Amino acid sequence: MSDSISEHLNACISALTARSKPLASGQVSLVGAGPGDPELLTLRAVKRIVEADVVLYDNLVGPDILSLVLPGVDCHYVGKKAAQHALPQDDVNQWLVQLAQAGKRVVRLKGGDPFIFGRGGEEMDALLAAGITVEVVPGITAAVGCAAYAGIPLTHRDWAQSVTFATGHLKQGLNELDWAGLSRPTQTVVFYMGMTAAAGIAEALMTHGRAAETPVAVIYHGTRPDQKVIIATLETLAKQISAEAIKPPALLIVGEVVRLYRPS
Quick: pLDDT tens for 223-259. Answer: 999 999 999 999 999 999 999 999 888 999 999 999 9
Share of the chain above pLDDT 70, in %: 90
Quick: pLDDT tens for 139-160. Answer: 999 999 999 999 999 999 999 9
**Residue boundaries of the structural domains of the chain:** 3-137, 142-260
Q: Which residue out of 37, 47, 80, 110 is catalytically annotated? A: 80
- The strand pairing partners of 220, in sequence order, are 228, 250
Q: Which residues contact 248 (CB under 8 A, 6 or more apart)?
A: 81, 82, 193, 195, 196
Q: Is 64 a catalytic residue?
A: no
What is the value of pTM for the model shown?
0.90
Q: How many CA atoms lie within 13 A of 202 on its CB side?
A: 23
Q: Which residue out of 3, 21, 53, 58 is catalytically annotated? A: 58
Q: Is 239 a catalytic residue?
A: no
Fold matches, 3-137 and 142-260: no
pLDDT of residue 147: 98
- The strand pairing partners of 31, in sequence order, are 109, 137
The residues of the chain scoring below 50 in pLDDT are: none
Share of the chain above pLDDT 90, in %: 82
* CATH homologous superfamily, domain 3-137: Tetrapyrrole methylase, N-terminal domain (3.40.1010.10)
pLDDT of residue 7: 67
The CATH code for residues 142-260 is: 3.30.950.10
